[in-house]
A and B are shown apart, each in its own frame.
Chain A
Amino acid sequence: GESVGLHLPTLSVQEGDNSIINCAYSNSASDYFIWYKQESGKGPQFIIDIRSNMDKRQGQRVTVLLNKTVKHLSLQIAATQPGDSAVYFCAENGPGGATNKLIFGTGTLLAVQP
């Protein structure tokens, strides 16, 4: 969903469950996508990226899926832990592709219940 005003979309999960955070991107010409994690009081931390010539990429406990047909990106976190609690942002590169301009999504708050 999209955030309205000061309210971030929130995903609440139990510790140990898998989490799926979704993101709809806007520009069909974007060819580079990133997921960032931002904990309270800190700067965004890089999690994983994917280029448009791929539809799936795996990291440690995380998987990013890209569906270019519907302009959808998702982040899957396996065996979610309390330390995963944070705001997660997807980002796409700017119009034209080969630029340094990142456009961030509205963010999702992941709340992990012990």
Chain B
Amino acid sequence: DTEVTQTPKHLVMGMTNKKSLKCEQHMGHRAMYWYKQKAKKPPELMFVYSYEKLSINESVPSRFSPECPNSSLLNLHLHALQPEDSALYLCASSQEGLAGNYEQYFGPGTRLTVT
């Protein structure tokens, strides 16, 4: 199984709502990532989890709160978002090791619209 799954595919939320994005992989990967992608732009890294611990936070506003309940799951909790947060949110996973870097496998993304 070389698939990263994300739910929901689409999400519309108001600025006062609380919602969560979910990501799952069963490849045994120990590194998981959240990216944000605006239209016609490259993905921008938000968070990296390594062995279920947050290892990189790219100065993301606190209205985005990541969580890694176990090695297969990654959540992104959303609260009090702004319209400019509307984007495609991508989850990815990869092997983790000291030998170097490994390719990241991406999910299909959640298309988020904040109204």
Measured as residues with beta carbon below 8 angstroms from the partner, the interface class of chain A is 20 to 34
Question: In the complex, A61 Cα to B48 Cα: how many Å?
Answer: 32
Q: Let me know if B42 and A100 touch, CB within 8 A.
A: no
| Residue contact B40 to A3, C-beta cutoff 8 Å | yes
Q: How many residues of B contact A (CB 8 A)?
A: 28
User: With A43-B90, A44-B90, A93-B101 known to touch, is A100 a contact of B33 (CB < 8 Å)?
Assistant: yes
Proximity bits, B36-63, A CB within 8 Å = 1, else 0: 0001111111001010000110000000
B contact residues around A32 at 8 Å (CB) = 100-101
A43, A89, A98, A105: the one contacting B109 at CB < 8 Å is: A43
A101 within 8 A of B: yes
Neighbouring B residues of A93 by C-beta, 8 Å: 101
From B44, B55, B108, give the contact of A43 (CB < 8 A): B108
B103 close to A (CB within 8 Å): yes
Task: From B33, B41, B90, B101, name the one whose CB has the most chain A CB atoms within 10 angstroms.
Answer: B101
Kindly provide the distance from the CB of B36 to the nearest chain A CB, expressed in whole angstroms. 12
| Chain A residues positioned under 8 Å from B48 (CB to CB) | 100-101
**Residue A31 at the chain B interface, CB threshold 8 Å:** yes
Query: Is the Cβ of A46 less than 8 Å from the Cβ of B103?
Result: yes
Complex Cα–Cα for A49 and B103 (A)? 7
Tell me how many residue pairs across A and B have CB atoms closer than 8 Å.
67
A24 within 8 A of B: no
Chain B residues closer than 8 Å to A99, beta-carbon distance: 56, 101
Cβ-defined contact, A100 with B43, below 8 A = no
Interface residues in A24-60 by Cβ distance below 8 A to B read 31-32, 34, 36, 41-46, 49, 51
Q: Is B105 an interface residue (CB 8 A)?
A: yes
Cβ of B101 to closest chain A Cβ, rounded Å:
4
Can you list 17 A-B pairs, Cβ within 8 angstroms, ordered by A?
A: A3-B40, A6-B40, A42-B109, A43-B4, A43-B90, A43-B92, A43-B106, A44-B43, A44-B106, A46-B105, A98-B98, A98-B100, A100-B33, A100-B48, A100-B55, A104-B44, A106-B42
